[in-house]
Amino acid sequence: MELRSGDLPRMHDLLRPHDLLRLRAPADARVPEPPDWVMPALEEAPWVVVRRAAPVAGRVPVGIRGPRRDQRCAAAVDPAAILACVTPEALARARAWETAARSGHPALRALAALAPRLDATGLVWGVAGGAGFELATGRPVLREASDLDIVLRASFPLPVDALRQAAAACEAALPPVPGRAPAARVDARVDALVETPLGAFALAEFCGDGDTLLLRGAGGPRLVMRAELERPAERAEAS
């Protein structure tokens, strides 16, 4: 855990998508018309995840996770209701999967195999999605076929070589494919997202051959030309 309630002014400024927040009480998550599963889920684990959206009336946009995959609910919380924040990077630095109750889960086994390879890239990275939620809260939300969600932090100019190295590491963690070498492979799919000051994009898409990428920002997703991300400073000076 990196931030606690004593750091509230700083916490509000630094919160980013994928950060997990522990609330004082389930009722602190404001939902206009909550589905029936929301309060039981928060009572079991009073944790929410920061959403990629602009704050409204000073409140932090968050998401609530239910027991089923289709149970997700948008909400907002007052910064004063946040007791603690766990970032994806904090989980990676703490090697939280090594002491997890379900360390043998396919996604967590994939994480254990992938971690040293991601460290070798020099990129700042962390654990998100269901794996991050389970590691931070102890609540067993991962299913047998759950993906492993990874967040990579990058600034401009983009570290292209390091990102391609990370993509190769993620590819090595995919399930065995008939006719391909099975060495160092485990049974979980890795979904890596690159977070930049302009928004986030899928690592696999960036390492592909397309001229456009789907960039996810606070205002919603949009298609951008690859050149906008590879040379953003040059484009800003020219405009």
Question: Which two three-digit tokens encode residue 210?
Answer: 């397309």
pLDDT of residue 14: 81
The reported pLDDT for the residue numbered 55 is 84
| 150 and 128 Cβ atoms separated by less than 8 Å | yes
* 211 noted as active-site residue: no
Q: What is the pLDDT of residue 42?
A: 95
Q: Active-site residue 78, yes or no?
A: no
Q: What is the CA radius of gyration of the chain?
A: 18
Look up residue 29 and give its amino acid.
A
Q: With 0-12 CB in 10 A as exposed, 13-18 as middle and 19+ as buried, what is 57?
A: exposed
The pLDDT tens digits along the chain (239 residues) read 454 444 444 555 689 999 999 999 999 999 988 999 999 999 999 999 999 998 888 899 999 999 888 999 999 999 999 999 999 999 999 999 999 999 889 999 999 999 999 999 999 999 999 999 999 999 999 998 899 999 999 999 899 999 999 999 998 765 554 554 444 455 678 999 999 999 999 999 999 988 999 999 988 999 999 888 877 654 444 43
pTM: 0.86
Is residue 96 within 8 Å of residue 127, measured between CB atoms?
yes
Question: CA-CA distances (angstroms) from residue 15 to 33, 86, 191?
Answer: 25, 10, 22
Closest CA to 64 of 40, 103, 38, 88: 38
Q: Where do the structural domains in the chain lie, given as residue ranges?
A: 3-86, 88-238
How many whole angstroms separate alpha carbon 109 and alpha carbon 151?
Answer: 17
Q: Cα separation of 72 and 22, whole Å? A: 17
Q: Are 25 and 46 in contact (CB under 8 A)?
A: yes
DSSP conformation class of 94: T
Rounded to whole angstroms, the Cα distance separating 21 from 149 reads 18
Q: Active-site residue among 149, 161, 191, 209?
A: 149
Active-site annotation holder among 7, 147, 187, 191: 147
